[in-house]
A and B are shown apart, each in its own frame.
Chain A
Amino acid sequence: MRSCVVWLLLCSAGFSQFTATVETPLALTGITNPQQIGSLLLVGADSKPVVAPVGIVTVVTEAAQVRIKVYTEAGARVPHKTLVPKVFAVEQAGKFWATITCVDFDKKIFDEDELTFVVGPAPPPGPGPGPDPTPDALPIAGEGFRVLIVYESSTLTKLPPARRDILYAQEIRQYLDSKVAVVGTSREWRLLDQDTDMRNAAKVWQDAMLQPRLSIPWIYISNGKQGYSGPLPATIADTLDLLKKYGG
Chain B
Amino acid sequence: MSKFIINDDTPESVYMPGQVKVDGKTVGTGLVPRDYSLHPVGYMGPLCPPMAGVDMPLIPESDWSAIIKEQKANKSRLSDIRRNLLGPGKPMPSLDQGSSNFCWTHSGTGAVMMLRGVANLPYKRLSAFAVACVLTGFKNDGGWGAWGLEKMILSGVPDVSVWPERSMARANDNPATWQNAALNKVSESWMDLEPPVYDRKLSRLQVATCLLNRIPVIGDFNFWRHSVLLMDWDEIEPGSFGPRGLNSWSDQWGDLGEFVLEGSKSNADGATAPRVVTG
Contacts and interface: CB of A to CB of B under 8 A. Distances in A.
Interface string A29-69: 00000000000000000000000000000000000000100
B74 A193 contact: no
Interface stretch (A14-22, A81-89, A136-144, A158-166): A158-166
B74 A190 contact: no
A149 B269 CA distance: 34
Interface in A174-203: 174, 176-177, 184-187, 189-193, 195-201
Interface of B: 45-47, 54-59, 66-67, 70-71, 74-78, 80-81, 84, 87-88, 118-123, 182-183, 185, 187-189, 191, 209, 213-215, 275-279
A201 B45 contact: no
A103 B45 contact: yes
Contacts of B74: 165, 168-171, 236
A197 B119 CA distance: 13
A157 B213 CA distance: 7
Interface residues of A, number: 44
B114 to A, nearest CB: 12
Nearest to A162: B70
A217 B120 CA distance: 16
A1 to B, nearest CB: 33
A198 B70 CA distance: 32
A175 B74 CA distance: 13
Contacts of A209: 279
B118 A155 contact: no
Contacts of B76: 165, 167-170
A192 B279 contact: yes
Contacts of B75: 169-171
A156 B84 contact: no
B50 to A, nearest CB: 12
Contact of B189 (A191, A195, A199): A195
Secondary structure type dominating chain A contacts? mixed
Contacts of B46: 101, 103, 110, 112
A224 to B, nearest CB: 19
Interface in A84-122: 101, 103, 105, 110, 112
Contact of B187 (A105, A170, A190, A197): A197
A31 to B, nearest CB: 30
A146 to B, nearest CB: 11
Contact of A190 (B47, B59, B119): B119
A153 B80 contact: no
Given A168-B78, A195-B188, 13 more contacts: A154-B54, A157-B209, A158-B57, A161-B66, A161-B67, A168-B76, A184-B122, A192-B119, A195-B276, A196-B278, A197-B276, A198-B279, A200-B279
A205 interface: yes
Contacts of A167: 76, 214
B119 A191 contact: yes
Nearest to A183: B122
B278 A200 contact: yes
A173 interface: yes
Contact of B279 (A101, A105, A165, A205): A205
Given A153-B189, A165-B70, A174-B88, A197 B215 contact: no
